[in-house]
Amino acid sequence: MEQNAAKKGMPNLRFTFVKSPVWGKTAEQLRKDVVEGTDPITGKPVMQEIVAELTTPLQDEDKNSRTIQQSAGPDHFGPDTAENLQKLFQEKGMTDYLPIVLPTEEKVDLMLKATSHKPDEIVGKISPTPGVYEYWSYTVKQVAVNAVMAGADPQYFPVILAIAAAGKESLSSSDNSFAEAVVINGPIRDEIGLNYGIGALGPFSHANATIGRAYTLLSINAGNCGKVGETYMGVIGNPANYTNIVIAENEKESPWKSFSVRKGFKPEDSVVSIFEGWGVISAKNSVYAVWQKDMNFAQELKNIFNDQDQLFGGVAVLSPAVANYVKEEGYDTVEKLTDWLYKSPDDSKPHFRSPAQINILVTGSSNNLYWDYGGMRYVKSVSVDKWR
């Protein structure tokens, strides 16, 4: 709180901290524990402290309105040994606590050769939570440094730049422990060897793994996200934050138009689309997912979605086998499917706010009838081709 207030221009804004959590408590509990309790930081009685903060005169520095330039620090580290530099990057909170590829000038230059954009061009900006925390901006070169650290090949760089241009944090400051997904469509998937077959969402492709990791490192370093206790407060944390949920769609085996085409791009366009939310899990986790002789996947989807929280809506990641099954059930377009999923069987209020809250993606192999679901919403799409 204090650091955030300082970044907003009031380094001496007065605070009283109270014992948390506040929600889930009765008025009587809050009166006894909080109002008549003490500030857990200062140990002073809460209300007396508030009264003092409201009436203590300002200091001269509180009346200041000058501008302070901030710096993220030096533009290089070393010379030092590889072991010491690995340790330094970890101690400075610039990694995901896994070993990194050290970003030497030579490696970064190689990465920069994979785009026509100039190294000092500003790609975008990220805030740990827009509207709450300040935005940090970043150049093509700074994105390249993070891409090298993630172990990415230069040929993946336009995809990483497109993700960076979306300006969406992969590590939200929220105590909810949110996750991000990156949906990738178009020819770039085959050009760089993205996996959309067996284990599409797992650690079975260099491209999927390092592109996803670069997104997290970029958020940590270029966007000032993930600083525990300062810009990250996730209560449980989210394992998807390591490499995010990278979903290259299996366009070849899908019965429907790809996600990016449904968003207005051409099939020959390479596109990344960002999703945010809770993450995805196997539909077999739901009591509505049953193995039976005659499957009705569309009804299964509807039952599961209607039991989900409404904040992010619903996303389904179908294997091509399930998607083709759903098509055979009468849904030859995704729009037809999402309209039906959205509508209530009677005239009652639909569960979600609009059909746009329901998103269907297709990836993975066709060796069985499995699919994933989760509460995630679509944020935005960015052209990869623009960053080649």
Partner 1 sequence: MKPRFVTSLIALFCLSFCSSNQVLAKEKKKSDPAVTVEPKLTVLSPLGIPPAIKLLAMAPRPNTLNGKTIYIVDDGFVGGDVLLKEMAAWFTRSMPSVNVVYRRKAGGFPDEDPALWAEIKAKGDAVIMGVGH
Told to check if 24 binds partner 1 by CB under 8 A, we report yes
Question: Given candidates 9, 237, 239, 330, which one binds partner 1 under the rule CB under 8 A?
Answer: 9
Q: In sequence order, what E strands does 255-305 have?
A: 271-282
Do the beta carbons of residue 254 and residue 365 sit within 8 Å?
no
Instruction: Mark the segment that binds partner 1 (CB under 8 A) among 63-71, 197-205, 245-253, 294-302.
Output: 63-71
State the nearest-atom distance from the C-beta of 46 to partner 1, in Å: 8
Which DSSP category does 228 fall into? B
Instruction: Compute CA 165 distance to the chain's CA centroid, rounded to the nearest angstrom.
Output: 14
CB of 129 vs partner 1, minimal distance in Å? 7
d(CA 207, CA 327): 30
CB 125 within 8 A of CB 99: no
Single-letter residue type at 39: D
Q: Which is nearer to partner 1, 46 or 280 (CB)?
A: 46
110 interacts with partner 1 by CB under 8 A? no
We find the least distance from the C-beta atom of residue 267 to partner 1, in angstroms, to be: 34
* Nearest by Cα to 124 from 112, 136, 133: 136
Looking at the Cβ atoms of 127 and 324, the one nearer to partner 1 is 127
Q: How far is the CB of 35 from partner 1 (least distance, A)?
A: 5
To partner 1, the closest distance from the beta carbon of 54 in angstroms equals 5
382 burial type by CB count under 10 A (0-12 exposed, 13-18 middle, 19+ buried): buried
Say whether 302 sits in a helix, a strand or coil.
helix
Site for partner 1 (CB under 8 A): how many residues? Answer: 81
User: Is 366 one of the binding residues for partner 1 (CB under 8 A)?
Assistant: no
Which parts of 343-383 fold into alpha helices (H)? Answer: none
Least Cβ distance, residue 305 to partner 1 (angstroms): 24
Residue 228 found at the interface with partner 1 (CB under 8 A): no
- Would you say 135 or 340 has its CB closer to partner 1? 135
Which of 39, 49, 108, 241: binder of partner 1 (CB under 8 A)? 108
| 138 is a contact residue toward partner 1 (CB under 8 A) | yes
Of 8-16, 237-245, 282-290, 334-342, which segment contacts partner 1 by CB under 8 A?
8-16
Residue 386's Cβ-count burial label (10 Å; 0-12, 13-18, 19+) is: middle
Rounded (10°) angle between helices 140-150 and 105-112: 110
Query: Cβ neighbours of residue 46 under 8 Å, at least 6 residues apart?
Result: 16, 18, 34, 35, 36, 37, 38, 39
Binders of partner 1 among 151-210, rule CB under 8 A?
none
Q: Counting contacts by CB under 8 A, is residue 137 touching partner 1?
A: yes
Q: Which is nearer to partner 1, 55 or 348 (CB)?
A: 55
Q: What gap in Å lies between CA 105 and CA 112, rounded to an integer?
A: 10
C-beta of 169 vs 251, nearer to partner 1: 169
Minimum CB–partner distance for residue 293 and partner 1 (Å): 45
Which amino acid is residue 349, in one-letter code? K
Shortest Å, Cβ 346 to partner 1: 31
Return d(Cα 301, Cα 284) in angstroms, integer. Answer: 12
Residue 305, token pair as written in the block: 């979605």
Structure tokens at 234: 């996730």
2, 34, 153, 191: which one binds partner 1 (CB under 8 A): 34
Per CB under 8 A, which of residues 39..58 are in contact with partner 1? 47, 50-51, 54-58
The answer to whether residue 130 forms part of the interface with partner 1 (CB under 8 A) is: yes
Cβ 298 to partner 1, closest distance in Å? Answer: 34
Q: Which of residues 66-105 bind partner 1 (CB under 8 A)?
A: 66-83, 85, 94, 102-105
